[in-house]
Structure formats: structure tokens, C-alpha cells
Amino acid sequence: MTDYNDSLDLTGIACPNNFVRTKLKLEEMEPGQILEVILDDGEPIRNVPRAVKEDGHEILKAEKIDNKWKILIKKA
């Protein structure tokens, strides 16, 4: 499950811009495709996965690497 169709590095991008950029990227993608998102810990990891879930997408994986999080999102 480490394959993905597209990737977004949102390191240093504050809320809510990180979610907006995730949302826009997902809109460009096809249902079922997978987006990798890199988020900072703190507020971004607190807000983005939750908002992605609320929009109906599936989070396949969340993995902490040092002080960042790698999230795999399957577009609904």
C-alpha cells in the first residue's frame, strides 16, 4: 500500500491552506486514486485528516516520520 498516484508536500503550510490544497489536488484526481500528503505535526495533523474524512475520502495510512506525518488518501 505504498503506491500512490500523486503527492503533495505540505511541510510548512499552515491551516487551513494545507487542507484547501489537499482538497484542490483531490478534485483533479479520479475516484479510487491515491494521494500522498506530507504534513507537519501539531495543528496540521490535528485538522487535515479529520477534514479529509468529513469530505468522504478514505485514509489508508498515517505514518509518523520524525516530526512529520505521511498520509495516504484514497479519493472517494
Catalytic residues, by residue number, are 15
Q: In the numeric block, which cell numbers belong to residue 40?
A: 507537519
Question: Which of 15, 29, 38, 51 contacts another protein by CB under 8 A?
Answer: 51
The grid coordinates of residue 9 equal 508536500
Using the rule CB under 8 A, is 61 a contact of another protein? yes
CB neighbours of residue 1 within 10 Å: 8
| DSSP secondary structure code for residue 52 in this structure | H
Pick the stretch among 4-12, 26-34, 38-46 that binds another protein (CB under 8 A): 38-46
Q: Which of 49, 65, 66, 76 binds another protein (CB under 8 A)?
A: 49
